[in-house]
Amino acid sequence: MAGVRRLTPVEALVRYKAGARLIDVRSEAEQASGMAEGAEAISQDLLLEDAASRLPPDAEILLICQRGMRSLGVAEAMLKQGFVDIASIEGGIEAWQRDDLPTTAASLDADFLGRYSRQLRLPQVGIVGQRKLQQARVTLIGAGGLGAPAAFYLAAAGVGHLRLVDDDIVERSNLQRQILHVDAGVDFAAKVDSARERLLALNPKIEVEAVRVRIDADNVDAYVSDADVVMDGADNFPARHALNDACIRLGKPLVYGAVQRFDGQASVFDAGRQRGVAPCYRCLFPEAPDDAPNCAEAGVLGVVPGIIGLVQANEVIKLILNVGDPLIGRLLQFDALAMRFRETRLRADPDCPACGKRD
């Protein structure tokens, strides 16, 4: 059995023009940066799994990757699958481009490919998933301890439109945990404006909408109705209840988080889309507890809202991409002193005042 032929890009182009099949084995993200003209996109994973279902074993096949190593390995595997005339292009697409051979134009701009390159390599994301993130609209209630870390990572991940809703100004006591804000803004900068400036400095390719208002039952619908996902970073029960009720009414998934002292918790409430199956926030807290202190009264270790906020950001991204297992029906609890996570199952309460059975 003949081995794998190794061709220069110029030699490969001659064989392609003579009728050989030119196959780009790179990932979708790499292919989006530009391909050899005439190349067909079939990833190495598909070829290694079952090349014969995608290509005729008796055809002349030319494989190209980024630098020539992956294509050589795939070619050797395909020989073992029964292919008889297969070649690997030395130097890959980089050598092809250096030789000024014809290519198809990149389908995505260089900033997109470079900025999100690590996510694009994930099969659960890829170009299609990154486009979903780019087109998504997320409303974050609160630009404080939870909203700050979550917003940073959602912006970095490429969520295309972030709406931040908060009516506070930056205070010195915020800086210990609310990492979106800086000392220069203390006592005068609105949190949403401070946050917008930092987020756009990180990723100028997204839109950040700053809404300086205190959320309540009368105005909440206006800021939730067009969102794909809503994140709860509020610091009081009336706002949380108003947000929960609006998300049920409008059919929006709500990513919840809360912190106090050394503890935090997070969940996803999706009763608006899964009434009677998924619980809502009021299933957990039907009414505001009489003895629940806020962070100003009880204190909080600065890293705890960072950890919970990132859990929330992770859940937002999963919901947008529709991947993994969201925290629906599960309450994730974190103990920073013990460095322990534990999980409690939550069930929809049929008597819940917000999502329970209706007469």
Name the residues annotated as catalytic.
295
Structure tokens at 325: 């297992």
Q: In angstroms, rounded to a whole number, what is the distance separating the alpha carbons of residues 204 and 198?
A: 10
Structure tokens at 76: 């050797």
- Coil, strand, or helix at residue 176? helix
Q: In angstroms, rounded to a whole number, what is the distance separating the alpha carbons of residues 268 and 213?
A: 24
Structural contact between residues 133 and 320, judged by C-beta atoms closer than 8 angstroms? yes
Structural contact between residues 149 and 178, judged by C-beta atoms closer than 8 angstroms? no
Structural contact between residues 93 and 35, judged by C-beta atoms closer than 8 angstroms? yes
Q: In angstroms, rounded to a whole number, what is the distance separating the alpha carbons of residues 154 and 224?
A: 17
b/e per residue 141-177 (b: at least 16 CB within 10 A): bbbbbbbbbbbbbbbbbbbbbbbbbbebbbeeebbeb
Q: In angstroms, rounded to a whole number, what is the distance separating the alpha carbons of residues 187 and 237?
A: 25
Structural contact between residues 101 and 293, judged by C-beta atoms closer than 8 angstroms? no
Q: Which amino acid is at 105?
A: A
Structural contact between residues 282 and 244, judged by C-beta atoms closer than 8 angstroms? yes
**What dihedral angle (degrees, nearest 10) is formed by the CA atoms of 65, 116, 255, 140?**
-160
Helices of type H across the chain: 9-17, 28-31, 44-50, 69-80, 92-98, 110-115, 117-120, 126-135, 147-157, 191-202, 220-224, 237-250, 281-284, 295-298, 303-321
In the DSSP assignment, the letter for residue 51 is G
